[in-house]
Structure formats: C-alpha cells, structure tokens
Amino acid sequence: MLRRLYYRLKPYLPWHLRMSVRRVVAQTQRRLHARIWPINPTAGEPPAGWPGWPHGKKFALVLTHDIEGAGGLAKARQLVQMEQELGFRSSFNFIPEGDYQVPPAFRAELVQAGFEVGVHDLRHDGKLYWNPAGFADNARRINGYLRDWQAVGFRAGFMLRDRDCLNDLAITYDATTFDTDPFEPQPEGSHTIFPYWIALPQGGGYVELPYTLAQDSTIFLVLQEKDNSVWKTKLDWIARQGGMALLNVHPDYLGFAPQQEQGHEYAAQHYREFLQYVARHYAGQYWLALPREMADWYREHGRGRPQSDTTGPAPVPDTAGTRPLIGKRAAVVLFSYYAADPRPRRETEALGQAGMEVDVICLRQDGEPRHEILNGINVHRIPMKRRRAGKFTYVFQYGSFLLSAFLLLSWWRLRRRYQLVHVHNMPDFLVFSALLPKLCGARVILDLHDPMPELLVTIFGLKEQSAGVRTIKLLEKWSMRFADLVITVNRACEKIFLGRSCPPEKIQVLMNVPDERIFKFRSCDDYPPRDPAAPFVIMYHGSIVERNGLDVAVAALKILRQTVPAAQLWIFGGVTPFLTSVLAAAQADGLADSVRHLGSKTQAEIVQAIYACDVGVIPNRNNAFTEINTPTRIFEYLSLGKPVIAPSSAGITDYFTPEDIIYFELGSARDLAVQLQKVYDQPAWAREITRRGQAVYRHQCWSRVRHHFINRVVDLLKTK
C-alpha cells in the first residue's frame, strides 16, 4: 500500500525532495545492512552442478543500461563510443511507452555494432503489476515489443517483481533482481552471484540474471560516493568466487562534461575508470557476455544435466540452478561443532544454495572464532565444548546449551523474521529453543540423527524400563509433537519413531549419505589389480568409541595375520580413552607394527585414504544402537568403489541384500576375519559385490536426498 501511494504521488513530488529523503533513509539502511551490502557472503556459493564459465574463464562480466528518459537516449551514443574504445559491449534497455521514442534505426545500429536491445518495463511508472488479474493486456503489449524489437530480455522498472505475472512474458531472460540491495523498494535479494533458472508452471522457463554490482544511481546519487571503490571491491570479490559481475548503468545520470558531479548526474569518468580497471587487472580472465548470450549459455550448459553414466549416481530431477527458497530466513541449532559435523553442514548448505539466509548456533572448539561465515552460512558459536562424561554432565551441558540457544533465537527474532528453524538432536528437547520463532509463525524441523533412548541405553547401560529411559522417551514424544516435521536417517529409526506416536505424515527419511562433490563417484572397475607385494590395507574411520567395535577389528586382524602376514589396519579418528586401550591391547598382542593410528582427517583426506585401502570395515559391536544404525561410512566406501564389510543389522539389511554388500555376524571378530580372508583370496568376488553395492548407492546419493529435502522444506513453508 505504501509503495502504491508513493508511485501515485511520485509525479508530483520534486526530484530534490525525493532524493533528499532517500539519502537520509539510505544512510540508516547502509549501517543496518553492512553485513550483507555491498557483499553478501551467502551469495558466493556456486549452484549445485556448476560447470564453470566458458573457455575456463575466471568470472563473467555483463554490462547493461536502462534508459529512463529522453536525456538518457541522447547520451546513449556517447556511452556506446566509450565502451567501443575500451573493447566492451553491452545491452541497452528501452521503455516502450515512456516519454521518449526510440528510433528503429538506432536499435538496428546498436545490434549491428554488436550490442543488444532489451525491453525495460512498459511505461516505467511503478504500476506494472497493480492489477495482476488484468496483467494479460500488459503482457500482450510487452510481448509485442519484444517481437518487434527482436529482443529476448526484460527488466521491470524500479526492480519491482511479480513472478506470477512474469510467467506471461515470452522472454529468454529476466534481469529484475539482484544478489543484495537493501535500498530497493522490494529489497529481498536472490542471494546469488550466479544466473539461475525460473521454471514456469506450464513447463519451460527463463533465466534470471541478477545484477551483482550496485546500480550507479544508488552509489553516486543516493549514497553520494566520490569514487567507484564500491564497484571495484565487489568485482574483486566476485572474481574470487568465480561468479557473474552484472552492472546496470543509466545513461540518464552520466555527466560527460568535465567535473560533472552535481544534481541528476555523476561524472562518466567513474564508469570509464571502472572499465579500465577491469581490462587492466583481469585481462584474459573474464567472459564478456551480452545478457542474451549469458541466458543462452546457461540454458544449454549452466543448469546441469542428469548423469548419463549408468555407473554414477542415479539421475535426479533437473532442478540444478533453481533457488526456490530465495528471500527466506532459517536458523539451525545443533549441539555439535558445525564445521566437523557432515549431516547438519550438508543440509544447512543445501538451504543456503536454495536461496535461504541461514544462521547457525553451535558449539565452539578451541581456536574457532565466535562468528564466521562458512560457504555463505552465518555460523555463531556458543563458547561451550562437548564433554563425554557421566549422566549429570550431559544433563548440565544440554540444559546450558538449550538455554543459550533459546535466548539467542528469541533475541534474533526481535530483529529478523525466521520462516524456518531446523534443530538437530542430540538432545531431542533442543527443539524447544525454537519456541518464540514458532509462536511467531516459523516452521520447525526436528532432525533425529539417533534415537536418544537407544543411544543412552548403549552408552550408560541403562535398563529399558528405568525411570531415566522412560523420561527420555517422554521428552522425545513431546519434542516430535512440537515439531512441524520430523526427519530421521533410515527406515529402522522411522519404525521406532512411528511406534512412539509420531504421525506417519509428519516424518520423512533422509539418509545420511556422503556429498558426491567430495566423495566423487569412482567405479570399482577403475582400479588396477592389487599388487601382491603391497600390504593388504584394512581401513577404519569414524568415532572411536566402544559401541563401534574397533577392538573387534583388531581381534579380526590378529586372526587374519596368521594367513595374511602383510595385513594392516589403518585407523582414522580422534584420540579417545577407548582408542588408547585398544592400541595398548594391540601392542600386547604383537600387532604394534600392523595397527596404525593416523589421526583425525578432513573428508578430503579420508577420500585419499579410501583410494589407498583394500577394504573398509564397519566392525560394530552388538548393542541396541548398532542394531538400527546405517553408517554413512558404508556409502563412502561404495561411492569410491571399495569393498566394505558391515554387520548384518536391521539398519543395514533394510537397504542391502547379501548380494549387495559383504556381511559379517554383528560383533563377531572371527566371522569378520573370515570375510576379510575372502576379500583377500577372491578379489573378483569382492569386486562383483561392490559393483552391486554401488548400484544401491546410486539411488541413495546426496543429490537425490538433497532434492527431496529442499522439496519437503518448500512444501512445509507453503502450509504457513
């Protein structure tokens, strides 16, 4: 309503009055939004499946010009000459029914010179979308100009947007948005410095090209900057991110006379110097593209393609490059270290890549900053460390973190509006930290990585009917009831939660699988035959706690060494008291030279270690937790084409038959040794089973899980 009132009054308000008000407001906006303007760190993440720019260029450069009046039209030729002198070309967008007429000969002249012509709004009066039901007539007229001008691109006046109306336009691309610009009437940005795809309900779609360098009018007329350093700083950042630098310069505001800096104009020398800076500092590193060239390339190459290799991950719907959650905000809460916790990090980054602005609340390790931005995600760390100790220590830690997260979320809710809060267990009751956002309309997801009663029974040896376990189950029930959506990791856990009164329509399984951007698929047939003179390397990686059975693997190695003296066990993971006891026992058994602890590694380092091993093991002990667990490590080995030996427990047999994976009896070191011997003696058999296991992995890969996750979030927010 306020926007409509403004555009009704705008023709009657003096320009200097309007600009004075805008300048006062803009200074406040600039302070408030310093974190996201001119650079929004969340916008730098490439979309999934990003192929890189043509010819290996570092970044792309797109130059556009909106001509708003007769004065701008009169200066257009001077601008063309400037760009031609410096070796650049651009697109000129004209208003079809504005207060000036564009000579057809001039449009033809621009195209002949290698420039582009686009349609800028219809009348440029701020009223384009006032009557969405009657927009069909506006669309018919705009489409007529597009056809007559042989144009394929559109940009609305004042960057006003109504996606439903734009669906009626016959365009290849739209340029009516930005990555970040709090000074616009509709300040919700796209949060990306890359092109992206807008799918139409009736099929097909168009490319959205956000401007990623601040408009000249904002910098020089509103903020009254005295140089072009804002452009240069942002350009340097875009170049580092490998994004698209798209600039919109208005000829109307260019002052070609010397020292022209007053009134409606700024010195054209600022734009000239910027182009010279680009040419001088980035010669040969950027792809200079017209908007229509960018859109054509993106339609053909940039959106990603389903995998055609039948040995790779299974195809997913072609949604790469789309950002269905643009303009939404989310908070993520987890009682762990975000940077080192793969599942929360994968899911959080997926929200960011889908367009959301995301704040994370997590624990803080030594040496980590209180706040930082990781891959576009705002990470806020509470100065607490997770300590493995007795029951009361856990209760104190969980309670302290719950209170801290609750206060933070409640305070932030006073300053920003969250549409989603995503809470990861443990503990389950951490979901109640989202109380105030939920009361204010946010949707809440509870991500149950593990059933808390089963895990605590395993850790502390509690009795199933003890008061503590009954209390934990009650808290789990309340937590699931509070959440709008419950996510869990496999079918076995889903059965447990359904049996504890979680409604079937409220729960969804999203498997804990590796990100194929890191664990890039490699067929088991790609490896050469094992060198008989080399050690036979067995690999274990992950948490080194008793329930995961590292001691079972060491006992199996002791048996195997009787027939395979070259067998070695490589262990990757942090130092724990359990590891210390296992290594001491291995040394006492004479295995010190064949059991190697190689420490904690990044995921990229784990990939290299898997390449070097002969077989991976999941040597779980038999307990309530491992019976239902589906270890991510299974998929990590299979994604890289290595055989894996896993226990025949419900969490694994739900997904793999004995023909798809090498099973051993849960907790049995002797049976594990038997299977290791078979892998050593029968490499062709192990390869065939691995090949079938890879086929299972193809249908559980992260790109598919991510697609289902984002779709479920979109559906959840639609129900608000």
Residues 505-558: tens digit of each pLDDT: 899 999 999 988 889 899 998 899 989 899 999 999 998 999 899 999 999 999
Q: Please state, for a pLDDT cut of 70, what percent of the chain lies above it.
A: 93
Strand 662-664 relative to strand 567-572: parallel, antiparallel, unpaired? Answer: unpaired
If you average pLDDT over every residue of the chain, what do you get?
88
pLDDT at 617 over 50: yes
What pLDDT, on the 0 to 100 scale, is given for residue 175?
A: 94
The segment(s) of the chain belonging to CATH 3.40.50.2000 are 329-513+705-718, 524-700
3-state secondary structure of 229: helix
* 181-195, 579-593, 681-695, range with the lowest pLDDT: 181-195
Confidence of residue 29 (pLDDT cuts 50, 70, 90): confident
CATH number at 524-700: 3.40.50.2000
Q: What angle do CA 489, 646, 532 make, to 5 degrees?
A: 135
What pLDDT, on the 0 to 100 scale, is given for residue 8?
A: 64
What pLDDT, on the 0 to 100 scale, is given for residue 111?
A: 94
Which residue(s) pair with 718 in the sheet?
none
What pLDDT, on the 0 to 100 scale, is given for residue 132?
A: 65
For the stretch 2-26, pLDDT in tens is 556 655 666 667 767 777 877 888 8
CATH topology of domain 329-513+705-718: Rossmann fold (3.40.50)
Angle, helices 632-639/603-612, rounded to nearest 10 degrees: 60
What pLDDT, on the 0 to 100 scale, is given for residue 572?
A: 96
pLDDT at 151 over 70: yes
* 41-45, 151-155, 508-512, range with the lowest pLDDT: 41-45
Helix segments in 298-389, DSSP class H: 342-353
What pLDDT, on the 0 to 100 scale, is given for residue 311?
A: 47
List Cβ neighbours of 45 (8 Å cut-off, separation of 6 or more): 192, 349, 352, 353, 375, 376
Enter the tokens of residue 616: 């991976």
pLDDT at 166 over 90: no
List Cβ neighbours of 653 (8 Å cut-off, separation of 6 or more): none
CATH topology of domain 2-48+56-301: TIM Barrel (3.20.20)
Distance CA 538, CA 522 (A): 19
CB neighbourhood size of 296 (10 A)? 16
What pLDDT, on the 0 to 100 scale, is given for residue 152?
A: 94
State yes or no: cis peptide before 54, omega within 30 of 0. Answer: no
Distance CA 689, CA 565 (A): 25
Helix segments in 597-646, DSSP class H: 603-612, 632-639
CA dihedral 17, 20, 26, 27 (to 10 degrees): -160
**What is the rounded average pLDDT of the residues 81-101?**
94
Confidence of residue 92 (pLDDT cuts 50, 70, 90): very high
What pLDDT, on the 0 to 100 scale, is given for residue 42?
A: 76
pTM of the model: 0.59
**What is the rounded average pLDDT of the residues 702-716?**
89
